[in-house]
Each structure stands twice: as structure tokens, then as C-alpha cells.
Amino acid sequence: MPPALVQASPSATRPSRFAPQAPYDALAPVYDLLTGDYTYPEWVRELVGLARDHGLEGRRTLDAACGDGNATVPLLDLGHEVSACDLSPAMVAAARRRTGGRARIVQADLLAMPLLGRHDLVTCLGDVPNHLASLADVAAALTGLRRNLRAGGMLLFDVNLLAAYRDVPDVTVRDDDRIVTWWGSRAQIHEPGGAGEVVVDVFQRDADGLWHRSTCRQPHRHHPLPGVLDAVSAAGLEVVAVHGHVPGAGLQPRADESRHPKAVVLARRPARLTTKTRRQR
């Protein structure tokens, strides 16, 4: 691969459309490379520990928007009985390969969630709410996840804060047959509630040694944290804990939009349904 190709500029930005399935299908063959230095086993252990500290009981777990199984595998390794789902068929296929039949993994849209069981825990990790166009969509997705919890069951998710979208570097990762450039500088969002676009160039070498280039575009939306917490309540869930998260430094006591790239939210399906939630079932 000539280095010039790796440094090529991403092509002009198209208008943002919140249609994440196609980008993630294209990313599935390289997603392991792109997220290879993320420490999911440690992160998942820390998050499950947080839920247990707040009273989580049981191990029936749904990993929603599982991607290629970054969190699914550590959940299985912790002894959880795991189902998983994702919108992208290519991600579902990658997660199935990676988990080798240890988890039931199906294609499902968070905005039209089927009932996959009554779980003790639902995880939805990797800034998934930022892939949804509006807070109304976030509330709709959380409602679908709440239906997949037993009464008293817990939901764990993370959401990007404004700090995640500031001063984002361009990153290139590679192995012998794949080169991926993540144009972070194109994903900047400066205003609360603003939209951006993550552009990823993927170069893959085929069996004949020829390189193929494809460009993926993922619309991202920053959702201010108070709006996200309102969406949790609107979905009929109780907020149990909110923490900032900084890679390498773990969970922080509070979430700060300007300092922490992520917030981690732990919520519970109430043991008793309110009249409002009963109407939403």
C-alpha cells in the first residue's frame, strides 16, 4: 500500500443521514483492528461490578448493539448467559464467529426491539445513543431495552459527552492486509446537541494482492446528558448511577461534559410498574 493512499483526504462530506446499518456492515471486517487496543474485558468487569454494587442479581444478559462482540465475549467469560443483537448483519455474523456458538445473536433494530427475553442485565456499550438522531429516538430505544428486562433488572449504557468530540485526532491502524484511517478531525462537534460525521477509510488486500478502498460515514449526534437522563425516565427506567469515564482512568465519581469523553449510566426497571410505564409496556 503506497503511504500516499493512507494519507489521502476523505472525500467531501455528504449530508448527514442517520442510517447506521451500511457503515457498520462495511466496518465489520476491520472492526477488530479499529478497536484492538480497547480494554473491554477490564471495562466490562468494572461495569458489571458497578451494577452488582447497586444490587444486580442474576446473569441472564442481553448485549444490545453488540457490534462484533467486544463486550459479548467478556460477559460470557464472566459466566453470564448472553444473548446479543445488532442492526448490522455483518456485525452479527462477526459476533457469531467470535463467540463460537456461546451466545444467541440476532439482527435487531433498537428502534423496533423484539422481545428477546426477560433479562437480569442489558448492556448497550460503545456510544450507541450517539448513533441515534434525536432524544426521542434514544427514549424509544431505551423503552425497547426496558421491555427486555425483568422487573428489577438493570441497564448499563455509555454515551459520548462533548469532550469526546473535541480535538479528535486522525488515527491509522494496520496489519498485513488491512489499513484503516479514522478521520477523527472530521467528527468534531462543538455545540451541545450538535451533529457530526465520523469518516473511516478502509483499505483491504484481496487474495490477488490488490488493495480495495471503501469509505464509511457514520452520523453522530451529541445528546446533552440531562436530556439523556430524561430519556431514561421517559422509557420507564429509574436512574441508579451516572459516572464519567476516562479511558485508562476508569469510572469517575461524576460525569463532566467538558472533561470526560463518556458518561456511564446505570438504570433499573422498577420492580413495580408505575401507571405511566404500565401503559407503555
Ligand X SMILES: C[S@@+](CC[C@H](N)C(=O)[O-])C[C@H]1O[C@@H](n2cnc3c(N)ncnc32)[C@H](O)[C@@H]1O
**Residues forming the site for ligand X (CB under 6 A):** 20, 24, 35, 65-67, 70-71, 86-88, 91, 109-111, 125-128, 131
Report the nearest approach of ligand X to the CB of residue 273 (Å): 25
Report the nearest approach of ligand X to the CB of residue 144 (Å): 9
Residue type, 25: D
Smaller CB separation from ligand X, 88 or 181: 88
Smaller CB separation from ligand X, 24 or 165: 24
Choose among 277, 197, 264: nearest CA to 237: 277
Report the nearest approach of ligand X to the CB of residue 125 (Å): 4
SS (H, E, C) the chain: CCHHHHCCCCCCCCCCCCCCHHHHHHHHHHHHHHCCCCCHHHHHHHHHHHHHHCCCCCCEEEEECCCCCCCHHHHHHCCCEEEEEECCHHHHHHHHHHHCCCCEEEECCHHHCCCCCCEEEEEECCCHHHHCCCHHHHHHHHHHHHHCEEEEEEEEEEEECHHHHCCCCEEEEECCCEEEEEEHHHHCCCCCCCEEEEEEEEEEECCCCCEEEEEEEEEEECCCHHHHHHHHHHCCCEEEEEEEEECCCEEECCCCCCCCCEEEEEEECCCCCCHHHHHHC
> What are the C-alpha distances in Å from 98 to residues 59, 70, 106, 235?
20, 9, 14, 32
| Span between the terminal Cα atoms of the chain, in Å | 54
Smaller CB separation from ligand X, 8 or 173: 173
Smaller CB separation from ligand X, 182 or 203: 182
Report the nearest approach of ligand X to the CB of residue 2 (Å): 30
Smaller CB separation from ligand X, 18 or 211: 18
Smaller CB separation from ligand X, 32 or 238: 32
Report the nearest approach of ligand X to the CB of residue 252 (Å): 19
Smaller CB separation from ligand X, 111 or 234: 111
Report the nearest approach of ligand X to the CB of residue 113 (Å): 8
Report the nearest approach of ligand X to the CB of residue 62 (Å): 12
